Structure 1
Amino acid sequence: MANSDGVHERAAVPEDLSRFFVERANAGNVDGLVALYTPDAVLAGPGGQVATGSEEIRQVYERLLADRPKFTPGQQRPALRNGDLALTSTRLVDGGATAEVARRQPDGTWLWVLDEPNVLA
């Protein structure tokens, strides 16, 4: 979540990102969701749509959270790391799965650069 200054907790390890996603989505925190991504990140959307960059990703999450859906944490897989990159993935409770690529930032924290929230669709 965000502290009193509006600053969101940063991911110390790649696996933090999925947990932060569920917490922030359930709180309706669009800014917090956008903060999980690099400014040039790419997010796959329904029907083959692709959101590139913070503003397009913000629009996706504004639409997604408009009806206040509830997100349930899935079974997160251990991140597969290679240097400053990590592949994160989660098996969802509905049988779906996610796949994301995170990049270590200069301050040592992690942000997603690629996000496919439904690899089985």
Structure 2
Amino acid sequence: MKPSIPASQVWKPEEMNAAFADAYNSGDIDQVLALYEPNSIHVHSNGSLEIGIHSFRHTLEELLLLQGKMVSTNLYCIPFENIAMLRAHFILHTVDPDGQPLVLQGYTSEIVRQQPDGSWLYIVDHPFGSDVME
């Protein structure tokens, strides 16, 4: 399955995190998945590797169920040829099951690759990149 073209393609790797937040805020899973190469890797919150969009689509759909508003700020981008390593700080404002305001935040780690058309897509997405994995 090939994802659709995102509403706004990413032309600079340091803009990838903001593009993810925009796609999340759209509530459209296809916009979110369009930011990933088809065989990319997503690290699940339990530490397992989900390889390929088909394996992590459900994880991202669950994230969308929070129906929050996300801001994701790039902290650094280290480019090397056609890849770049990123780190971001995200804040997600949502509500808990009782309707009370809830703020989720953390630090991510990602690797993106430049595509033949010059745009950038995730090849590794680790939303919990600052967490200690056991």
TM-score higher than 0.5 here? yes
Q: Which 5+ residue runs of structure 1 have no aligned equivalent? A: 1-5
Structure 1 runs, 4 residues or longer, greater than 4 Å off? none
Match of 2:85 in 1: 87
1:60 aligned onto 2:59: yes
Q: Distance in 1 between the 2:5 and 2:79 partners?
A: 27
Match of 2:99 in 1: none
Match of 1:3 in 2: none
CA contact (8 A) 1:98 1:117 kept: yes
Match of 1:21 in 2: 20
Match of 1:119 in 2: 129
CA contact (8 A) 2:109 2:130 kept: no
Query: How many residues get paired?
Result: 115
**Cα offset, 1:95, TM superposition:** 6.2
Q: Distance in 1 between the 2:113 and 2:5 partners?
A: 20
Deviations 1:81-118 (A, max 9, x none): 11011011113356621110001111111101001111
Return the TM-score normalized by structure 1.
0.84
3-state SS in 2 of match to 1:26? helix
Match of 1:72 in 2: 71
CA contact (8 A) 1:89 1:97 kept: yes
Q: Distance in 2 between the 1:16 and 1:29 partners?
A: 19
User: Of the two, which has the highest radius of gyration?
Assistant: 2
Task: Report the residue type matching 1:120 in the other structure.
Answer: S
Cα RMSD of the aligned pairs, angstroms, is 1.8
Q: Distance in 2 between the 1:7 and 1:82 partners?
A: 25
3-state SS in 2 of match to 1:40? strand
Q: Distance in 2 between the 1:7 and 1:114 partners?
A: 19
Q: Which 5+ residue runs of structure 2 have no aligned equivalent? A: 92-103
Return the TM-score normalized by structure 2.
0.77
